[in-house]
Amino acid sequence: MNELLDKALKLLSDVCNKSMLHVIDEDYIKVTLRVLHKKGVNLNSDKIEQWLVSDNWQPSPVKQVVSWAKSIKSGGRVQLKSKNTAPSEKEIWNRLNA
| Domain residue ranges in the chain | 3-96
The pTM for the full model equals: 0.94
Kindly write down the DSSP assignment for every residue of 12-66, as one continuous string: HHHHS-SSS--HHHHHHHHHHHHHHHHTT----HHHHHHHHHHTT--HHHHHHHH
> What is the full per-residue pLDDT of the chain (98 aa) written as tens digits?
789 999 999 999 999 999 999 999 999 999 999 999 999 999 999 999 999 999 999 999 999 999 999 999 999 999 999 988 899 999 999 999 97
| 3-96: CATH architecture | Up-down Bundle (1.20)
According to DSSP, residue 1 is labeled -
CA distance 26 to 11: 14
